[in-house]
Structure formats: C-alpha cells, structure tokens
C-alpha cells in the first residue's frame, strides 16, 4: 500500500471520528434532540399507521370506481354525489344529532359519579375506578349483544313487564330504533365521560369551596358558581371524547338500530364491503371527519367561557385552610351511585345468566340449569381456530405496543421537549378518532401498498389502537417515583442505558406488566379492525359476530362471552395488583434513599 493511500485511510478515519464526536457533542448539548430521538420510533409508527392512511383516503376520494377497477383520474364527482343526493347528508346530520344526544346524556349521568369519587371517596379510590370501569373491559360486541337481548320483543325487559302485567303487548320501540342506539351508546361510552370529569374535579382547591361557604353561599349555589365552572375543562374533554367516536359507530346501529337507527358509519362500511365503491366511501369518510373536526373546534371555542370563568373564580375567592368541606352525608348521591353501577353491570351479567339457561330463547322466566353450552365450546373447530388467531395477534401486539409506549413515555417524562403537547396529542389521537375512519383508512392503505389482508394487518392496526392506552399507563408509573434515584445512579458513573435497565425499569416494571395485560385484553376483544382487515382469518370477536345472528348458536356465544368477562376481570385485577406492588416498592426505595441522604 502506498504512502498516499495510507494517508487517505487515516484522514478518512479521522474525519469519521470527528463527525462522531461532533454528533455526540450535539446530542449532549441539546436535550430535545435526545428526547425526540428516543420518541422517534413511536412517532414514526403513528405517522405510518395514522397519518398515512388518512392521506391515502384523501387521494382515493378524488378517484372513481368503475365496474372492475379504480379510475385514478382526478375528479370531484364523489363529493358532487354527496351534495346532489342529500340522503347522505341527512344520515350524517342524523348521526350528529344522535351522537350529541348520547354525549349530553352520558355527561349528565357521569358527572354525579365523578363528583362522588372526587369529594366523597377518601380511601380506595382506585378500587372504585376499577369497579366502575370493569364492565367496559368486556368485549364491546358482547355488551351490545346484551342490550339486544334485553330490548327485544321477547327480551328481558318486555317479558318481565308482560309477566307482571304492566303492559299487554311488547314495546316494539325498544329495539331496532334510535332509542336503542342512543341507550346502548350511552352505556358503552359511560366510563370515558367519568374519568376526565373526575380528574378535573380532583384538581379543585377545596379551600375555595370553604371560602364560598364563608361568603354565605349555600351548597347548591357553591356548586353552580364554583365547582361547575372549575370543572368545565373536564366536561369539555368528556364531551369531545364522547362525541367523536360515537358519530361513526358501526357495531351498535347494525345490531340494535335497524332501519330507523341507521348511522353514517354503516353507510361508509357498506361502500367498502357490499357496494365495493371505495373512492366514494373514502369521500364520505373525509366529509364526516371534516364535519366532526369543525363541530368539535367550534364547540371548544364556544366553551372557552367556562375555563375563563373558572380562572376568574380562582382569583376572586380567597383560599383558606380546609377543615371539613364535604362533611355532610348526601344519601341521594350514594343511592344514585348504586343505581348507576346496576346500569353498568346488568347488561354484562345477562351473559352468564343466560349461558346457564337450557333454552335458545333469551327470555324470562329461565328454564333448567345447564352447562351444555360450555361443554359445546370444546367441540367447535372454527371457534378454536378463531381463539388461536386472537392469541396470535394479541400476544405480539401487547409486546410491541408496550415497548413503543415505554420508550415514548420515557421521552415524554424525562426530557424537556418543544411541542410536547402536540406530540402527546398526536399519539393519543386514536383514543378519540372514530374507529370506522381508522379501519377503512388502514384498509385502503393495505390495498395501495399491496399488503394482503391477514392476521398481520390486524396486528398492525391493533398496535396503533393500543399505543395511547399503554403510554398513559407507563407515563403514570414513570411520573410516580422519585427521579433522584436515577440522578444518583448517573452520579455514580452509570450511563443512561444502564441507569434505565438497573434503576428505572425495575421501578416501572409493574406499570409495564399492567400495560401488557391491558393491551393484550384490548387486542383480544377488538372487533372492528379485525372485521375489516382480517380477510379470511377470523379472530374470536369476528367469529362471535358471525354466530350471534343464529338462535341455535347464540347460547354458546353467551357462554363464551361469560368466560371472556371473567378472564378480563382477572387480568384487570392482576394489573391493579401489579400497580400496588410497584407503589409499595417505590415507597420503600424512596424511604431508603431518604435515610441514606440523612445519614
């Protein structure tokens, strides 16, 4: 090798090392760069699986469907068809009205529950939250099925009223009507309204309520002038969370709506299945999404008076030391909580009750006790295949989702990131986006890239669906322990990776375990994405969807649903146990660290 060649190699290595040192110095200098590098995998996944499908829908909406293929010539004909045939516009307005009604009813029902949790419950609040949320970890499909059983002409409600003589003939408007859709949606999305209102009420300074009482306000006027304005951010958040997903709901109007309860989500789904007109379905999806966005933004803008008034209340009232703000006992509120819990649990309890009934008719009174429907489950090859498919999807989804959520949560909680709120909002967007939009968007994207529908496409969709829930769980765990423990490890010479592996990860392990269990349960029970993206490979919820239409197979579905409900309860209980164990371990470590510092 010549001297010149050796000099070139050395110069190249020096330049490479120089760039490496410069890059390392850049990372050490800019905290936001380290944070966004850690956050980049999760953001990339969300961009590819959330933003890209929406962009693909926009492109498809300007194409047209011929008999055998899609014409990619740019056109506005799909949008012109929507406005020319106002039938679609009427269905969209009907869906908006029904969703607004569901939102109003749900918030009115949820506010007293949130108030009770925030002001009346002093111990075991997490136990109350689990008790309220447990029915919602049952498959949404099964909960809608339970309402169908209760509301039918020969269902539980009508048969009971006929039995006691309150009515002479069945109330036909209970099922296959707008009433049935609104009632079922209000039940199905109740928990999503309770949590944001509860968080907002929990943050209210109790001394402000004492100050209002000292100024002569009675409890009712204190609520109207202090508590309600200060809780408006939670009410607004609950309204947005309720309204957006229910506008495009698909399962509920199909199962309990009938011709009188059709919503826009059904029409969109039919364009991608029965009518096979994907471009027009894409246009309907984009119109619905834009309409929802305009309504929500307008609502938030008009609701700003609530938050402004709340801030004015905080500055007007002079806080004082709290003594016994909520010392009175409001029996009516506790009675309401009991009735609300019955409303939540009774539909889910219909599943095990009728699964032991020796009849294919879901009516009262019950026939003889039997377990034959449970025994029959083991002799159904299609059921076992669907069960295996659900496990094949749910286990990898739980692992991948929790990994992405953990690194994202670490980036969000351990680094000062410009645009942190926007990044969190983008990652959490699937929590409030109508499922039908995400499902058809991923369906169109799969077709565009030539990816066949299979368990893989279901798994990919479940990752984007479960990442928000997983990230919230892990973030709560990361924010719940003393950061000085990590700082002590760094001071002792550990690098960032070893500090995470030896200190941070063991402390957040209960949160990671809870995330694995919750995401597994959510993926295992999910129906809509599996229905649109599974192709010929059915998961367990899709299998149940095909069986609930036949009276002969309905009892076996109820038995299967009862088993799923019990397993979901065990998993949720295990997740809570892991969380408590993590809290106890974190307390021990904090006390040990404090003793060392004092020593």
Which residue spans within 197-289 are E strands per DSSP? Answer: none
Cα–Cα distance for residue pair 562/141, rounded to 1 Å: 13
Pairwise pLDDT comparison (499 vs 411), residue with the higher score: 411
Helix, coil or strand: residue 274 = coil
**Mean pLDDT estimate for the chain:** 83
Is the model's pLDDT at 479 over the cut of 80?
no
DSSP 2-66: -HHHHHHHHHHHHHHHHHHHHHHHHHHH-HHHHHHHHHHHHHHHHIIIIIHHHHHHHHHHTSEE-
Token pair 């008034």 in the structure block, residue: 309
Cα–Cα distance for residue pair 59/67, rounded to 1 Å: 19
Report in angstroms the alpha-carbon separations of 548 from 289, 385, 387, 544, 560: 31, 18, 16, 6, 11
Cα–Cα distance for residue pair 135/116, rounded to 1 Å: 19
**pLDDT tens digit string along 484-543?**
666 666 666 666 666 776 777 777 787 888 788 889 988 998 999 999 999 999 999 999
Do 585 and 406 form a contact (C-beta atoms < 8 A)? no
User: For the chain, what percentages of helix, strand and coil (3-state, to nearest 5) are there?
Assistant: 80, 0, 20
Is residue 414 domain-shared with residue 307, that is, in the same domain? no
Is residue 281 domain-shared with residue 390, that is, in the same domain? no
What average pLDDT does the segment 397-407 reach? 94
CATH of residue 279's domain is 1.10.3720.10
Is residue 92 domain-shared with residue 175, that is, in the same domain? yes
Cα–Cα distance for residue pair 347/146, rounded to 1 Å: 5
**pLDDT tens digit string along 127-137?**
788 788 877 77
* Helix (H), strand (E) at residue 206: helix 206-214
Q: Which residues pair with 369 in a beta bridge?
A: 357
**Domain presence at residue 20:** no
What average pLDDT does the segment 316-338 reach? 60
Q: For residues 359, 339, 181 and 354, what is the CA-based torsion angle, rounded to 10 degrees?
A: -10
Is the model's pLDDT at 372 over the cut of 80?
yes
What is the pLDDT at residue 324? 40
The proportion of the chain whose per-residue pLDDT surpasses 70, expressed as a percent, equals: 83
Do 243 and 99 form a contact (C-beta atoms < 8 A)? yes
What is the pLDDT at residue 322? 40
What is the pLDDT at residue 326? 45
Do 157 and 151 form a contact (C-beta atoms < 8 A)? yes
Produce one character per residue of 250-273: b if its CB has 16 or more CB atoms within 10 Å, e if not.
bbbbbbbbeeebbbbbbbbbebbe
Pairwise pLDDT comparison (489 vs 122), residue with the higher score: 122
Is the model's pLDDT at 321 over the cut of 50?
no
Q: Which residues pair with 65 in a beta bridge?
A: 70
Is the model's pLDDT at 14 over the cut of 70?
no
What is the pLDDT at residue 112? 94
**Domain presence at residue 431:** yes
Token pair 């029970």 in the structure block, residue: 525
Say which residues have a Cβ less than 8 Å from residue 154's Cβ, sequence separation at least 6.
170, 361, 362, 363
Do 212 and 325 form a contact (C-beta atoms < 8 A)? no
Q: Helix 554-598 crosses helix 540-547 at what angle (to 10 degrees)?
A: 150
Cα–Cα distance for residue pair 492/484, rounded to 1 Å: 12
Q: How many other CB atoms sit within 10 Å of the CB of residue 236?
A: 22
Range of the domain at 143: 85-320+331-355
Pairwise pLDDT comparison (287 vs 485), residue with the higher score: 287
Is residue 51 domain-shared with residue 94, that is, in the same domain? no
Whether omega before 365 lies within 30 degrees of 0, making that bond cis, reads yes
pTM for the complete prediction?
0.84
Cα–Cα distance for residue pair 348/136, rounded to 1 Å: 9
Cα–Cα distance for residue pair 508/504, rounded to 1 Å: 6
What average pLDDT does the segment 573-587 reach? 67
Is residue 46 domain-shared with residue 136, that is, in the same domain? no
What average pLDDT does the segment 373-397 reach? 92
What average pLDDT does the segment 192-199 reach? 89
Is residue 230 domain-shared with residue 188, that is, in the same domain? yes
**Domain presence at residue 17:** no
Is the model's pLDDT at 483 over the cut of 70?
no
Is residue 153 domain-shared with residue 245, that is, in the same domain? yes
What is the pLDDT at residue 325? 43
Q: How many CA atoms lie within 13 A of 557 on its CB side?
A: 25
Q: How many CA atoms lie within 13 A of 112 on its CB side?
A: 15
Is residue 316 domain-shared with residue 388, that is, in the same domain? no
Is the model's pLDDT at 599 over the cut of 70?
no
**Domain presence at residue 191:** yes
**pLDDT tens digit string along 202-229?**
888 877 777 777 777 777 888 888 888 8
Cα–Cα distance for residue pair 396/28, rounded to 1 Å: 34
Do 512 and 406 form a contact (C-beta atoms < 8 A)? yes
What is the pLDDT at residue 23? 66
User: How many helices and strands in the chain, by DSSP H and E?
Assistant: 29, 2
Is the model's pLDDT at 410 over the cut of 70?
yes
Cα–Cα distance for residue pair 584/201, rounded to 1 Å: 27
Is the model's pLDDT at 569 over the cut of 60?
yes
| Residue 453: pLDDT band with limits 50, 70, 90 | very high
Which of 38-52, 57-71, 270-284, 577-591 shows the lowest per-residue confidence on average (mean pLDDT)?
Answer: 577-591
- For residue 551 the two structure tokens come to 């009276």
**Domain presence at residue 525:** yes
Is residue 300 domain-shared with residue 424, that is, in the same domain? no
**Domain presence at residue 224:** yes
Is the model's pLDDT at 99 over the cut of 90?
yes
Is the model's pLDDT at 117 over the cut of 70?
yes
Is residue 270 domain-shared with residue 405, that is, in the same domain? no
The proportion of the chain whose per-residue pLDDT surpasses 90, expressed as a percent, equals: 37
Do 147 and 563 form a contact (C-beta atoms < 8 A)? no
**Domain presence at residue 220:** yes
| Structural domain total, the chain | 2
Is residue 567 domain-shared with residue 448, that is, in the same domain? yes
Is the model's pLDDT at 413 over the cut of 90?
no
What is the pLDDT at residue 89? 92
Say which residues have a Cβ less than 8 Å from residue 54's Cβ, sequence separation at least 6.
289, 437, 441
**Domain presence at residue 137:** yes
Say which residues have a Cβ less than 8 Å from residue 239's Cβ, sequence separation at least 6.
103, 107, 299
Burial class (CB in 10 A: 0-12, 13-18, 19+), 156: buried
What is the pLDDT at residue 352? 85
φ, ψ at 310 (rounded to 5°): -60, -45
Which residue spans within 366-456 are E strands per DSSP? Answer: none
Cα–Cα distance for residue pair 517/395, rounded to 1 Å: 9
Is residue 93 domain-shared with residue 199, that is, in the same domain? yes
What average pLDDT does the segment 464-491 reach? 77
| Residue 160: pLDDT band with limits 50, 70, 90 | confident
């Amino acid at each position: 090798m010549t001297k010149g060649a050796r000099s070139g190699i050395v110069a190249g290595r020096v330049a490479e090392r120089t760039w490496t040192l410069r890059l390392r110095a850049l990372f050490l200098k800019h905290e936001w760069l380290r944070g966004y590098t850690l956050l980049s995998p999760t953001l990339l996944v969300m961009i590819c699986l959330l933003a890209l499908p929406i962009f693909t829908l926009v492109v498809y909406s300007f194409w047209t469907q011929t008999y055998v293929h899609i014409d990619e010539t740019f056109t506005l004909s799909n949008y012109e068809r929507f406005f020319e045939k106002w039938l679609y516009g009427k269905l969209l307005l009907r869906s908006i009205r029904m969703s607004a009604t569901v939102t109003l009813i749900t918030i009115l029902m949820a506010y007293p529950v949130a108030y009770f949790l925030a002001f009346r419950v002093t111990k075991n609040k997490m136990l109350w939250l689990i008790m309220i949320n447990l029915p919602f970890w049952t498959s949404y499909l099964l909960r809608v099925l339970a309402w169908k059983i209760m509301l039918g002409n020969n269902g539980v409600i009508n048969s009971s009223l006929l039995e006691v003589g309150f009515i002479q003939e069945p109330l036909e408007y209970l099922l296959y009507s707008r009433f049935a859709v609104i009632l079922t949606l209000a039940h199905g999305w109740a928990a999503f309204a309770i949590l944001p209102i509860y968080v907002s009420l929990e943050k209210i300074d109790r001394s402000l309520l004492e100050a209002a009482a000292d100024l002569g306000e009675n409890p009712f006027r204190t609520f109207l002038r202090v508590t309600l304005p200060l809780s408006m951010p939670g009410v607004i958040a609950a309204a947005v969370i309720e309204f957006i997903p229910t506008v495009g709901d698909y399962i509920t109007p199909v199962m309990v709506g009938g011709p009188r309860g059709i919503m826009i989500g059904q029409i969109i789904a039919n364009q991608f299945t029965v009518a096979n007109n994907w471009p027009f379905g894409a246009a309907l999806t984009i119109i619905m999404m834009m309409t929802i966005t305009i309504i929500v933004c307008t609502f938030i803008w008009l609701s700003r008076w609530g938050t402004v008034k709340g801030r004015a209340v905080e500055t007007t009232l002079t806080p004082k030391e709290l003594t016994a703000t909520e010392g009175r006992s409001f029996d009516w509120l506790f009675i309401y909580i009991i009735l609300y819990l019955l409303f939540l649990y009774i539909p889910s309890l219909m599943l095990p009750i009728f699964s032991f009934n020796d009849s294919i008719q879901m009516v009262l009174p019950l026939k003889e006790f039997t377990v034959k429907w449970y025994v029959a489950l083991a002799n159904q090859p299609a059921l076992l295949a669907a069960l295996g498919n659900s496990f094949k999807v749910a286990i990898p989804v739980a692992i991948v989702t929790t990994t992405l959520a953990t690194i994202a949560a670490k980036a969000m909680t351990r680094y000062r990131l410009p645009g942190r709120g926007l990044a969190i909002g983008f990652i959490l967007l699937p929590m409030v986006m109508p499922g039908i939009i995400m499902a058809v968007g991923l369906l169109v994207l799969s077709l565009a890239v030539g990816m066949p529908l299979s368990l893989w496409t279901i798994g990919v969709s479940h990752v984007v669906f479960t990442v928000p829930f997983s990230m919230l769980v892990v973030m709560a765990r990361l924010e719940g322990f003393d950061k000085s423990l990590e700082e002590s490890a760094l001071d002792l010479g550990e690098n960032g990776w070893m500090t995470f592996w030896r200190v941070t990860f063991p402390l957040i392990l209960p949160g990671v375990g809870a995330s694995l269990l919750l995401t597994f349960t959510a993926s295992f029970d999910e129906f809509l994405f599996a229905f649109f993206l599974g192709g010929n490979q059915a998961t367990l919820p899709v299998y149940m969807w095909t069986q609930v239409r036949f009276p002969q197979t309905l009892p076996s579905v109820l038995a299967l649903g009862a088993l799923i409900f019990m397993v979901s309860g065990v998993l949720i209980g295990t997740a809570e146990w892991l969380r408590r164990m993590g809290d106890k371990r974190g307390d021990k470590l904090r006390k040990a660290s404090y003793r060392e510092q004092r020593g």
